[in-house]
Amino acid sequence: MQIQHRYIVVEGPIGVGKTSLVKKLADSFGNELLLEKAEENPFIARFYQNPRQYALSTQLSFLLQRAQQVQSFRQIDLFQDFHIADFMIDKDRLFAELTLNSDELKLYEHIYQHMTIDAPKPDLVIYLQAPVEVLRERIVRRGIGYEQAIKDDYLIRLSELYTRFFHDYDDSALLTVNTQSIDLINSGEDYASLLNEINKIRSGRHYFNPSSLSSL
């Protein structure tokens, strides 16, 4: 299947289905995958158990990981190859704002400003949304041990942060997808509808909110 977009990013809060969709899109379009690999952060499990104690170490570990990923991006020819990712470099600062206290955030910002982080911009971002109760259901269903400690208030604040970020986002074409009542992984009809929407997009902001009654 042909696609016009050479670099696509799928984003959204934990549990919304980013990685599953990215893998399916990569199979459809023949794109190379760029995956977040949050499980490689040595502090992530402890963070969900004790957010206050491990927030800074978790965030700085992610920052260093992102910097390494940016170096990999710089070696990619985005004009010759097709790539799809399940994260944006920009979101690292969103999580810092969410998890760090004021002094820690100042330290994080100081370190961030002294690092060379200049990632290429995607030409399409697919932003997946779902209500908190749906995120919770999906987190439980996929059964990753450390994720079960995530609190609903964290999911609420995280979802609100994503909403604010993408409300003002204009660095690339943006497709906002309401995933509450659709199954983009197991429903061929829902997935085909999304592919059709993706292939129509050239620039600007777009919304995909079909009335399908299937559930993820």
> pLDDT tens across 28-83, in order?
887 778 888 888 999 999 999 999 999 999 999 998 888 887 777 666 665 566 78
Give residue 106's pLDDT: 95
75/199: higher pLDDT = 199
| C-beta separation of 183 from 215 below 8 A | yes
DSSP state of 154: H
Q: Which of 78-82, 143-147, 174-178, 199-203 has the highest mean pLDDT?
A: 174-178
- Give the model confidence (pLDDT) of 116-150 as tens digits: 667 778 999 999 999 999 999 999 999 999 899 99
| C-beta separation of 60 from 78 below 8 A | no
**Phi, psi torsion values for 151, nearest 5 degrees:** -85, 150
Q: Tokens 């100081």 map to which residue?
A: 110
pLDDT at residue 212 above 60? Answer: no
| C-beta separation of 3 from 21 below 8 A | no
pLDDT at residue 207 above 70? Answer: yes
Over residues 152-174, mean pLDDT? 94
User: How do the residues of the chain divide into helix, strand and coil, expressed in percent and rounded to 5?
Assistant: 50, 10, 35
CATH topology of domain 7-208: Rossmann fold (3.40.50)
pTM greater than the 0.85 cutoff:
yes
CA angle 85, 115, 71 (to 5 degrees): 40
- DSSP-based three-state secondary structure for 85: strand
Give residue 90's pLDDT: 79
Give residue 214's pLDDT: 42
Q: Which residues, in sequence order, are bridge partners of residue 125?
A: 9, 174
Confidence grade of residue 215 (pLDDT, cut at 50, 70, 90): very low
Over residues 175-201, mean pLDDT? 93
Q: Give the chain's count of helices (H) and strands (E).
A: 8, 6
In 75-101, which residue ranges form alpha helices assigned H by DSSP? Answer: 91-99
- Do the bridges between strand 173-178 and strand 32-34 make them parallel or antiparallel, or are there none, so unpaired? unpaired
